């Protein structure tokens, strides 16, 4: 959406604070021995307390309130009572929701407890790439050039990007134009970011794969060549300077 009046900005700030708070609380609640279903239920309680509605459930009837992906699962993981978190797991939580007609989205990958499998380097690279990306987005900048920046930074860190996943416009629904805000340079994409637009920018940084493919549950995506992936996401308002990071309170850079 494009913000055109103060009430819209207030609405976007409110739902963004809700999803940011929920993501941060879920990260803090996660611990070895609990299931991803327990973690999801905890997030659902928070969203419900705010009067917010799960975006993936409301939009797609996703079988969970948030997406929780563990280890080889890249994204859209279904919360399950059978998936028990363990020390050293690579976990991704993606929280998106709707409140009073406004929608916001954020996500983060992190290592559960001690980094016994060496995932932290990937997580740190993803966080740093998102920060550098947002530092370079403003009205008039080419979308493809931002994708080029993300892939360049990934390669510099020794990683790949997932080419069939990307950020998206958001605001009055979960996915809006501009869509396919990719992590690489699409030379056919001549679009530019527009001032006052609200978009969700997300990294998809991988150790081995370039594409995400579905498994037989109909939701979860894994890598076409295996490996692991880290994702970090903020919903932002584009300005003619640095963007306003609406979900900044999720603390993913702390």
Helix (H) / strand (E) containing 237: strand 232-237
User: What's 197's DSSP letter?
Assistant: B
CB of 92 closer than 8 Å to CB of 77: yes
Distance CA 8, CA 101 (A): 10
**Which residues contribute to the annotated binding site for a divalent metal cation?**
94, 105, 168, 202, 233
Distance CA 109, CA 9 (A): 28
Distance CA 44, CA 34 (A): 16
**Which residues contribute to the annotated binding site for substrate?**
76, 175
Distance CA 69, CA 177 (A): 26
**Which residues contribute to the annotated binding site?**
76, 94, 105, 168, 175, 202, 233
Beta strands in 131-230 (DSSP E): 160-161, 166-169, 176-182, 198-202, 205-206, 212-214, 221-223, 229-230
């Amino acid at each position: 959406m494009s913000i055109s009046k103060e009430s819209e900005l207030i609405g976007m700030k409110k739902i963004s604070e809700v999803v940011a708070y929920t993501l941060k609380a879920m990260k803090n609640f996660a611990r070895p021995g609990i299931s991803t279903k327990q973690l999801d239920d905890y997030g659902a309680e928070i969203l419900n307390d705010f009067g917010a509605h799960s975006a993936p459930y409301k939009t797609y009837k996703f079988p969970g309130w948030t997406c929780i992906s563990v280890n080889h699962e890249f994204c859209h993981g279904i919360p399950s009572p059978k998936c028990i978190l363990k020390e050293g797991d690579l976990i991704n939580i993606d929280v998106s929701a709707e409140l009073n007609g406004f929608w916001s989205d954020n996500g983060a990958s992190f290592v559960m407890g001690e980094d016994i499998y060496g995932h932290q380097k990937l997580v740190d690279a993803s966080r740093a790439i998102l920060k550098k990306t947002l530092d370079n987005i403003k009205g008039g900048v080419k979308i493809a050039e931002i994708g080029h920046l993300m892939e360049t930074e990934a390669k510099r860190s020794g990683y790949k990007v997932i080419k069939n996943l990307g950020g998206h416009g958001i605001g009055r629904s979960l996915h809006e134009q501009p869509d396919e805000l990719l992590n690489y340079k699409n030379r056919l994409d001549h679009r530019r970011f527009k001032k006052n637009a609200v978009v969700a920018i997300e990294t998809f940084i991988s150790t081995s794969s370039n594409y995400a493919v579905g498994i037989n549950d109909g939701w979860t995506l894994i890598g076409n060549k295996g490996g692991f992936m880290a994702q970090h996401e903020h919903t932002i308002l584009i300005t003619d300077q640095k963007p306003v990071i609406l979900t900044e309170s999720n603390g993913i850079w702390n």
